[in-house]
Structure formats: C-alpha cells, structure tokens
Structure 1
Amino acid sequence: MATESIILDGQPLSGEDRYGVWTTSVLDGWWYSPEPKGSTEERENADGDYDLPVYYGARYVTIGGSIRTKGHAQQHQAINRFVGLLRNKGRLQVSGHGPTQWADVKRASGFKMEPITDTYAQWQARVKAPDPLKFGDANVFTISPNQTVPLFHYGNAEASPIFDITGNMPAGYTLWGPGGKTFVSPSVVSSTYPHHLDMSEGLLKVNGYYWTGQTGNADLWTIPPGQQVLTGLTTTGTGTAKVTVYDTYI
C-alpha cells in the first residue's frame, strides 16, 4: 500500500517532519469535480433550453487534521509555519491514493491551528484552485521532422500539450494536429532561439519571452482522455519537438 503524502505549499501535512507527526483527516472537494457553471436560456417557442456551453467553476478544497508535536516549542513553530502558508499561490499535491495529483491553489480562508494540549493541535485551511483541473504524471514524446506521433495521457479530462521546439529551423515550422489543425511559426529556431508553446494558453515563447505577431495559423488542440491524437512536425530544417502531456483530471 502506498504511503500517503499530502503537501501544501511545500509543507507536508501527513507524516513526520521536524515539528512532529501531521495527520490529514479532511480533504473535502479534492476527490470530486467542481460544480458546473454556464448560462441557461429557455427556448421561447419550443421544448427545452438552448444547448449552451457548460464549464466548471473553481475548485475549493477544505483541508483539516491534527499535529502531535515533539514538544511545546515545536507546537508554536508549527503554528507559525502553518498559518504562514500560501502567502501567494502555491501547490497542493496528494499522493498515496491512486495516482499522484496536484493543483495550483491560493487561500480561500484564514488558516487556523488551535492547540488542544501542549503538544497536540488541530488545524484547518480552505484553498481555491482557480483552474479546476488537477494534474498528474508527465507523458513525454519526441517528434522528429516530417513524423507524426500519437499523443495520449491517463487522466479523465482533456489535456493541453506543451511543445518545446529546438534545433536549426531557419524558416520555422508547422505543428499538425487533429482534424487538419495547424500551428505555424515562420520564426527561426536555433540554439539561442528555442520555442516553447503551451496550448492551454496559446502563446508562443521564444528564448523565454512571449513572441507576439510571429505566427501564421495558430490552431490549438487538446488530448481527450482515453484517446490517441496524432501530432506531427514539418520543417525544412533539423531538430525536434518535445511534447509534454500531463495526466489531466477534473
């Protein structure tokens, strides 16, 4: 049986650390999907409603548990550590209950830790993941010029591929996706000008900087759960496209 590991903003909330032994007993909102959201519009002169898009709201997670510290001094240290977590956005990661999953979160409430005895305290926090998706292991693929590779992942939601294009491509390149979709960049690729494209945001980075107005066709696509999506690279130069597809969950 895998060992449970729950980490918030770099702080383990299960198992033993320098403060004592942490136990997480509440993880509400992590295991199920957030509530859907979207507009509802009735058909005035027909049955039912218009078939409008439905999206998911942000993911809210309530985390609670206890800590048995090594001493009274460590209890106060643990309190200070806990209530100071997530001053800015951080990561919530859960392992030991099936595949490892993580999401980037921010505070949705004050963080509380209440001493019960000199060495035992109970704590609670509520966090918000503005992006309701959870992510897991990275599946990495390499595409050579004029080659197609099937991309896939093991999650239950659509995943956005991330491309890192390197090599020597003086005339740029074209990425090919499903249904004739293409992402075309005429910009040079070289050792000093590598390209990075995250299709979840659709913005091209060159050498770490956003590169605007330097693309031709700019279709985006996702990898559905349980399917393989052929993706290709065309260029007159040499090099490769490394593609990362995270297991993606809702």
Structure 2
Amino acid sequence: MLSVILGGVELNDPSSPWGYLEIDDIDGWWNSPAAKQDQNSRVNQDGDYPAETYYESRFITLAGALAAPSASARWAGYEMISGLLAQGERKLTINADGNTRWAIVGRNGQPEIDVVANRLIEYQMTLKATDPYKYGKPHEEPGAVGAAIDLFHRGNAIAWPVITVTGSMPGGYELTLGGRLVEVIKPLASGSTHTIDMRTGILKENGDRAMKVFGTAEYFGIKPGVVQSFWSTPRTTGSGSVKINFNDTYI
C-alpha cells in the first residue's frame, strides 16, 4: 500500500478527479542523503580524527503517470502536475505499508511531462528538501515543573524538541536532558508563555522572540530508541507546567 501526497494532492490515486494517477518510482526518499564532513588526518598515525557528520539537502525524484478518461481531463491533469509546488515549498507525505513519513520540499527545476498517448501522461519531477530529515509520529509530553518526564521516539536520528513553559518563576528555570543543561535566566511571569526551540536555540515569549535569555545553553535533542528523563526546575522559587513536542525523526 502506497500513498504519496504532495501539496495536498494524492499522486497514487486510481479515482482522482483527473483520472488514474499512479506513482511508478521514488528515488532519494528511502536512504540517507549524502553526508558532509571535514576530515582531519592523524599525522604519523593511523586513521583520522573524529569529525561531526552533517547532511546535504535531500533530493527526491518522483516518476508517475496519469491515465485520463478523456483528452480534456488529460490537459487538466497536465496543468495540475505542472503547477505542483509552483508557489513555494509544501509538505510531502509518503505512507508505505502503514509507515508515514513527511518532509517539507520545494521544486528542483520544472517537472518533465510527456504526453505519450491521447489520454496518457508520464511525468518526472525532482524535489529538494533543504531540511534533509524526515518526520513521523508526533509526540506531546506534558508535566509539572519539578517532575521527571520520560521521552522516547522510534526514529533513527536526534529529535529536536520544542518546549513550552507556563507558570510563575521569577528567577527563571533550568531544563536538563542527558546531562545537558539549558538555563533560562529570564523571569517567567504569571500569564506568560515561554517556547524554546532546541534546534534553533530561540526562546519566544508570548510569540515574540526574546533576547539575552540564557545563561548556560547546552541545547539538547532526544536520542532515538532509548528512554531519557527530562527535568525542569525553578532556579529560585515558583512553579509551573511544561510541555515537550517532538516527532519521530529519520535521516
């Protein structure tokens, strides 16, 4: 069972408004994109020094066809395919045998569309995901400040959480996971909401970006396949609630 939804359009649908739509091939989705590293050789020693691994953008090629019920429907389908992502990035969601993953993609060039018969179109398009990660099941873990919250995801890469904190903590608060500490020195006033994106290191207060808010800032992600305990504590006094949002994350 395969479902491919691009910009809200199901591309593997035998009963679409344009006729019989099918996906024949998907390339660049299943494997990891190319890695990029700065290798530093060990002088007069074996091997290299360890290096951080980062990834190139993900390029995905979709190849498919449309069998239309009429020549008029063929042209309507042609226009639909040629217009996909014409106005910017959209969500690509692929469900293969019950496993759903998604990414945000844009065009990498114009779609190649061939009219091969009176009512038959074949096409190929290459998409670019500047964020090379794929995302799966969403998680939302709420709890009280001062209590441990267990976090877990089934991906194969680090998942970067977005943490929402409410309550009243005039001296700020601390967030910890896996031995890493993020110290928020900005007071949390009653009625205010702090949102911290661990991937970008940005804290927003009531939706607006706040500056000079961190003391120690060891931003952390959630490792795949292992339960980790998250803690939040007031730096001085106060109480509050915390909510951690993240997705199963794949590379």
TM-score for both structures, normalised by structure 1 = 0.91
Partners of 2:77 and 2:190 in 1: how far apart?
49
Equivalent pair of 1:106/1:127 in contact (CA under 8 Å): yes
Tell me by how many angstroms 1:147 deviates.
0.4
Structure 2: unaligned runs, 5 residues or longer? none
Deviation sequence 1:120-159 (CA, Å, 0-9, x none): 1111110111121100011211120210111110111111
Q: C-alpha distance in 1, partners of 2:68/2:190?
A: 54
- Judging by fraction of residues, say which structure has more strand: 2
Q: Secondary structure at the match of 1:88?
A: coil
Tell me the distance in 1 between the aligned counterparts of 2:219 and 2:175.
10
Q: Which residue among 7, 10, 13 is the counterpart of 1:9?
A: 7
Q: Distance in 2 between matches of 1:77 and 1:189?
A: 55
Question: Counterpart in 1 of 2:203?
Answer: 204
Q: Establish whether residue 121 from structure 1 lines up as the match of residue 149 from structure 2.
A: no
Q: CA RMSD in A?
A: 1.8
* One-letter amino acid of the counterpart of residue 4, structure 2: I
Aligned partner letter, 1:22 = L
CA distance in structure 2 between the partners assigned to 1:119 and 1:128 by the alignment = 30
Cα distance, 1:117–1:97 mapped onto 2, change above 3 Å: same
- Counterpart amino acid of residue 243 in structure 1: I
Question: Structure 1 residue 65: deviation in Å?
Answer: 0.6
| Aligned counterpart, 2:130 | 130
Please name the residue that 1:240 is paired with.
241
Instruction: Tell me which residue corresponds to 2:82.
Output: 83
Shift of 1:170: 4.2
Q: How high is the TM-score relative to the length of structure 2?
A: 0.91
Q: What percent of counterpart residues are identical? A: 33
- Secondary structure of the corresponding residue to residue 72 of structure 2: helix
**Partner residue of 2:155?**
155
Within 5 Å, which residues of 2 pair with 1:81-230?
81-86=80-85, 87-191=87-191, 193-230=192-229
Q: How many residues align?
A: 247
User: Which consecutive unaligned segments of at least 5 residues does structure 1 have?
Assistant: none
